[in-house]
Amino acid sequence: MMNTQELKTTVSKLSPDQLLQFAEWFEEFLADQWDKKIESDITTGRLDALGKQADNEFLAGRAKPL
């Protein structure tokens, strides 16, 4: 497995087309990781308090339309 410095060196040597392909893949990879983290937070109840706070703010009329 590569360490971070080796990975940086390898990425810096990619051709423009390869770099674009890598960037597109990496962006999708990060989005998938984010989705998994949010799913985990929801499943384990880590967001429950924030959800209740948001509901209370809305019910109290302190929500602003987007």
Does 17 map to a domain? no
Residue 5 has pLDDT above 90, yes or no: yes
Distance CA 53, CA 10 (A): 46
Instruction: Specify whether the CB–CB gap between 63 and 57 falls below 8 A.
Output: yes
Residue 13 lies in a domain: no
For residue 46, the enclosing domain spans 41-65
Contact 10/2 with Cβ under 8 angstroms?
A: yes
How far, CA to CA in Å, does 15 sit from each of 11, 21, 28, 38? 9, 10, 20, 34
pTM, two decimals, is 0.70
Task: Look at residue 14 in the predicted model and tell me its pLDDT.
Answer: 98
Q: What is the pLDDT of residue 11?
A: 97
The structural domain count of the chain equals: 1
Is residue 9 included in any domain, yes or no? no
pLDDT tens string 12-55: 999 999 999 999 999 999 999 999 999 999 999 999 999 999 99
CB 64 within 8 A of CB 58: no
Q: Output the pLDDT for position 1.
A: 92
Say if 45 falls within a structural domain: yes
30 C-beta neighbours (distance < 10 Å), count: 10
57 within some domain: yes
Query: Is 28 inside a domain boundary?
Result: no
In a domain, 47, yes or no: yes
